[in-house]
Structure formats: C-alpha cells, structure tokens
Chains A and B, each alone.
Chain A
Amino acid sequence: MTLTRSATAIATLMALGATPVAAQTEIQFWHAMGGALGEKVEEIATGFNESQDDFKVVPTYKGNYTENMTAAIAAFRAGEQPHIVQVFEVGTATMMAAEGAVKPVHALMENADIDWNADAYLPAVRSYYSTPEGKLLSLPFNSSTPVLWYNADLLEQAGIDEVPSTWDEMFAAGEALQETGHDCAFSFGWQSWVMIENYLAWHDAPIGTKENGFARLDTELVIDESESLTDLLQRIADSTEDGTFKYGGRRGDSLPLFTSGECAMWMNSSAYYASIKDQAEFEFGQSMLPLNTDAADAPQNSIIGGATLWVLDGHDDGDYQGVAEFFDYMSQPEVQADWHQSTGYVPITTAAYELSQEQGFYEEEPGTDTAIKQLSLNEPTANSSGLRFGNFVQIRDIINEELEDLWAGNQSAAEALENAADRGNDLLREFEDSNS
C-alpha cells in the first residue's frame, strides 16, 4: 500500500534524523459486513487498536462478499492488496489455489511471535477451512448454519404441539395448516446451501467425490446420486401445487414470506436472527433442520456458511506480526462471545461458547444455541466437513437456475439434479485446467 510505504519512508527519515520514533504500522482489512455488522467490525478493530501501540487496523467496507473478494483480487493484480480480506466460504477453493498470493494462517501464526493453538476453534468450523492434513488456511470469523425458523403462533393455531423434526412431520404440519385455511407451510432461502449441501451433510451423504473436493482438484459433483434427495425435492416441487411450499427467490429474498406470516416455517441461516427479531410480529423460534427418515436414522452434523479472513502476501514481514496479533485478539473469548450474541453467528471457539453459557445468554434467548448444537452434533465425517469446489460461486448459480426450473414445473427433480451436476462438473474441469 502506498500509505504504508510512505509511512515507512517517513519513519526511516525520522530514524535517520537520530530521533527514534515508534511509527504505527497500518494493517488494511477489507470486509463485507454492512450496516450493524459493519459497526461491530469497527468496534473490534478499535478495541484492538486501543489494546496496543505498534499496529493500527484499518477496516474498510468493500460491498457484499462477491464484490469484496473481486476488489481484493483486482487489487492484488495491481499490487495494491490489503493485508486481510474477508472471503465467503465458497471462495475457499479459489483462494487456496492461489499459491503465492495468500499466506496460510497456520504459517502466519507459527512465524509470528505469539502463543496460538488451532484446537481452540470448533471442529466443524475448523475443518471447513483446513487442508486435508488439518492445517488452518484462513481465520474463521463469521460462521452460521441453516436452521428451521418457525412461527409459533401459526403452529399453535393449527394444533401442532411439537416443531417438526422430520420431513414427514413437515408435510403433516402442512396438511394441518391447510385444514385451518393456511396455505404456505414452509419456504427456504440459499437453496443450494440449505437444501442440497446441508441436506447431504446432515444425512452423511457425499456432495462430490474426493472427500467433497477436499482431497483433490479432480472432484466431481454427485448431488444427483442421492435418491432420498431426488425424492424429497420432487415431493417439495409437487407441493407447490396446493401452496404447501412457496418459492421466494434466491439468497435471503424469501425472508418476507416468513416475517409477514405467509409461510409458517422457513429454513435459512441462523444469522437471520437479528432481522427476524426486528421484523416479526409473532412468537418465533429456531429448531434443528428436519431429518429425512428414508435416508438416515439420526442427523450427522450441518455445515457452515459465512466467511473467514484470508491473509494476502506481498507486504513487509513486520506487518504480519500485527496481523497475527489482531487475529489473536479477535479469537479472545470475550470478543467472540460478544460478536456471537449480538449477530446470531456461531461462536467460533469453544471458549466463547462456554463463556456465553456462563453468562446465561441461552436461557435469556432460548434457541440461539441451535446452530452450534447442529454443528457440533457429531465429529464431522468426510461427507460433513464442508466442501471445496472451484468456481463454486457459479455452480451455486447453476443450482439456483436448475431448481427454479424444477419449482416452476418445467422439469423433474431427477432432471434438475442431473443437469446441475453436469453443468457444475464442466466448471470444475475448467477450474482444474486453469489451476494445474
């Protein structure tokens, strides 16, 4: 960075003038947290800056996840990259493949003069961002997982005493709701993440070959091979007929369906907590994702979404000490617990989870520990550690497109999954070609 360079130049001049002055080194941090979340990030940076004198972390909001990542990559190509960039989980493979552009977090922490232990992070979070050998590549920051949000008032009206925990119960609840004249039982957002990636992990089935892409670049999607998934998606598509399921768009666009009371249940990220609390004028709660009893007897564990902090190469060695110290500060239980409790993201360290328990947060706000319980239900398997596919941002778009054609009745679930896998595999091959 020009700023850092001129700061160093000034520092050098001052040192030559025989007046030793400790200059603060600036650490550039590009993130994608807008609004209230952005303020929280500023708060963390300020907290770090006040805790020591050598470094100053400068957070900059660069737009949404995609925009932030693209901006950092463009900056790297121009030789103006920030020290730290926040990248969402599906960008992991792209960042990983960029050897020479990124500094793995385990190497950063080992080289720095700091006491650090990777085991402090939750296994389900850590595994998503580690090499197959278990070396942490990027620092987990904001992680969430999909949960089942429900409208307690509507369920009660329909005489449903217990929140559905299986898909059969979901459809039974749909019938009960329709008897009371309520059409829409459920909807969901981020459909690739919730209904395909997490569905498969939850039932301990593979999303792709080669350990979901963790092991090698020549991985292939196998989302069309799970019969239980095909059947379930077909059943959901058929239920658009009587309105039991209503499709409300990509990402979080379907949120109003839930908060307006049109749909009684909604499957999406636990990080919608703040928005729902703000908008819903009814009793709501969150509970674990439903299980398909045709596919498994008990759930495995869900996988995360969200983002991590990647360190970009190409700065002075001294700067990286500051980055390491900042990462260490962010992982402190107090900082993490505060972040978790105000945002709905899961606490990423075991210590922060325990601290929140001690503080009595989960008794005050029941259900807010659903996400972390889901993530730590079992030790992650090769199927439920997460996924690592190149070009995955585009592959998710493809999955969106194919599923939309399914909901609209233009094709069957089997066709949708097969097309998505075929088109996705083309992109995986392209990624393999340009990165090997």
Chain B
Amino acid sequence: MRTKKVTFRHRWLPYLLVAPQIAITLVFFIWPASQALYQSVLRQDAFGLKTEFVGLANFAKLFNDPLYLESFVTTVVYSAMVAGLSMGVALVLAVMADRVVRQATTYRTLLIWPYAVAPAVAGVLWWFLFNPTIGIAAYALDAVGYDWNHYQDGGDAMTLIVIAAAWRQVSYNFLFFLAGLQAIPRSLTEAAAIDGAGPVKRFWTIQLPLLSPTAFFLVVVNVVYAFFETFGIVHATTSGGPGNDTVILVYKVWRDAFEGLNLGSSAAQSVVLMVIVIALTAIQFRYLENRVEY
C-alpha cells in the first residue's frame, strides 16, 4: 500500500493545526508528569520550606511497605470485579434490549441514565442504601438473615464499592455493546436461525465472537476507569476502611498527598501508577489484539 501524501500549500500550516493538541498534551500531561517525576525524588515538608534530594528513597520505602503491596492486590481484585460485573450486566442488558421491538428507545434511555451521575454522587447514593442503620438495602439483607455492616466487614465494604463503581459503568458498556450488536448483519443470525440454531447458540457462536473488538476495547476502558476514576466512590463511602481493605492505589496517592501532606511518597506512587498504565495498555494491545477478530 502506498502512503498517501498530503501537501499543504503553506509550510507552517500543518504545525499550526497540530499546535493546539500539542499544547494540551504539554500542559495537561507532560508538565504534570514531569513535576511528579521531580517530586518523587525529593523529601519536602508540607509548606515547601525545606527540600532535600533523596534519590530513590521514596520508592524503596514504598516497596518495603507491606501495606502498599497489599494495596496492589486490592486494586487488581477490585478492578477485575468492577470490569467483570459492569461488562457482564451490560452485555445481558444489551442482548435483551436488542431483542425488544416495542418501546426500544425508552428502555435504552432509561438504561443510559446512571452514566450521568458523578462517581462521588453514585458513592453517596449507594452508601445511603447500604447504611447499616438507616439503609433500605441493609434492612432488606437483615430481613433475609444477613447482618450487613461495611464499617466492620471488609468483604461488605469491597462489595459496596464494586457495586457503586460498576453500576455507573453499566450504562457506558451497555451503549457500546448495543451498538456492537446492531452492527452485526441480520443476515448472519437469520441464516443461523434457519439452520436450526436457538437464541443461546446464536449468541455464543455468532454474536459474541463478532462483539470481541467491542469487548476488548471495553476491558481497557473499564480497567482504566476502575484504576483511576473511582477515587470519588471510595472517598465518599468507605474512606479506604475497614482496616486497609478498600485502599486502592489511586486513593492512597490522594490520601498521602492531601491528608498526609507527604508529597514525595505520593509523587512516587503516581509515577508507579503511570508506569502501570503504560505497561497495561501496551500489554493489552500487543498480546490481546492478536486474538481479537476485527
């Protein structure tokens, strides 16, 4: 294939056209990222009055801290559950919505609504529902004999933040799955139906494989979402407790910087997070992409 060559009449025009994008990248990514790199090798008091270069001491301390390593495990478990739950539920809803004939738009609109809710608000909402004393969901669980208390039970707390984080993301995933399903030519499923394949068989052998590009994209998006955007949910519901059971990495970055005023350690943690995301994205595109049929 020959590379398409576009010629601009003016020499500087192409640079001018990409300038805004470059400026945004510089201001919102390169500059803060380099600041984080710089801060991560310093030790500084809260007011910035005394600064000392400490090399990689902040990193060494982090990786010697069993709680930090625990937070890694927590984050991986949490992200997997959020991505799994939100994508699973979204897929079921999308398949059902795809089959609905009457009032299809109404169902779709209702299912998309939760996406408009900010993470912190979603957190508070679920916090109220599951409040051990006044929450209606906790009351219902109590009625079936389960004593819900996310203040004391780490499993309950993790369940709470997974539900709150996944609930919102279901809408987003639903949209993509539905669009993906509708892009599958009807002739394929109809042909399978004529050959005697039932709805379940059709789903597993035709629709699901053809949805794999969408699913692959969503895995990346959902994991990144769980890693970085759900800080508000943890902050508004469990504050990382009980114990350290719901301290995910991004929450720890915030807490050490804004509550602990320990900028060096917090910067080191964000550098670690940055490396993780770059690696995660690279691995996913490098190895998973090959197995996906586009």
Contacts and interface: CB of A to CB of B under 8 A. Distances in A.
Given A256-B131, A257-B133, A393-B260, A250 B239 contact: yes
B259 A393 contact: yes
27 contacts: A70-B258, A70-B261, A73-B46, A73-B261, A77-B47, A77-B48, A98-B45, A99-B49, A247-B149, A247-B152, A249-B241, A250-B151, A254-B151, A256-B133, A391-B260, A393-B259, A393-B260, A394-B260, A397-B240, A397-B255, A401-B241, A401-B242, A402-B243, A404-B152, A404-B243, A408-B243, A433-B43
Contacts of B194: none
Nearest to B239: A250
Interface string B259-278: 11110000000000000000
A434 B47 contact: no
Contact of A249 (B48, B52, B151, B259): B151
B133 A408 contact: no
A410 interface: yes
B153 interface: yes
A205 B43 CA distance: 34
A192 interface: no
B11 interface: no
B84 interface: no
Contacts of A67: 258
B134 to A, nearest CB: 5
Interface string A60-82: 00000011001001001100000
A253 interface: yes
B133 A262 contact: yes
Interface of A: 66-67, 70, 73, 76-77, 94, 97-101, 240, 247-250, 253-254, 256-257, 260, 262, 391, 393-394, 397, 400-402, 404-405, 407-408, 410, 430, 433-435
Interface size bracket, B side: 20 to 34
B50 interface: yes
A101 B152 contact: no
A101 B49 CA distance: 8
A402 B243 CA distance: 6
B57 to A, nearest CB: 10
Given A97-B45, A256-B133, 18 more contacts: A66-B259, A94-B261, A247-B149, A247-B151, A250-B151, A393-B259, A394-B255, A397-B240, A401-B240, A401-B242, A404-B152, A404-B242, A404-B243, A408-B152, A434-B43, A434-B44, A434-B45, A434-B52
Among B151, B153, B239, residue most surrounded by chain A Cβ atoms (within 10 Å): B151
Contacts of A240: 152
Contact of A73 (B47, B131, B240, B244): B47
Contacts, number: 90
A262 B43 CA distance: 48
A132 B48 CA distance: 26
B213 interface: no
Given A66-B258, A256-B131, A394-B260, A404 B48 contact: no
B132 interface: yes
B49 A98 contact: yes
B180 interface: no
Interface string B35-51: 00000000111111110
Interface in B151-174: 151-154
Nearest to A411: B243
B261 A248 contact: no
Nearest to B247: A401
A260 B134 contact: yes
Contacts of A247: 149, 151-152
A182 to B, nearest CB: 15
Contacts of A433: 43
Residue with the greatest number of chain A CB neighbours at <10 A, chosen from B44, B50, B152: B152
B290 to A, nearest CB: 43
Given A70-B261, A256-B133, A262-B133, A404 B241 contact: yes
Contacts of A404: 151-152, 241-243
A408 B153 CA distance: 7
B132 A248 contact: yes
B264 to A, nearest CB: 8
A405 B151 CA distance: 10
Given A66-B258, A393-B259, A401-B244, A408 B154 contact: yes
Contacts of A408: 152-154, 242-243
Interface string B240-259: 11111000000000011011
Question: 10 tightest A-B contacts by CB?
Answer: A404-B242, A249-B151, A256-B133, A394-B260, A98-B47, A101-B47, A405-B243, A77-B48, A401-B243, A404-B243
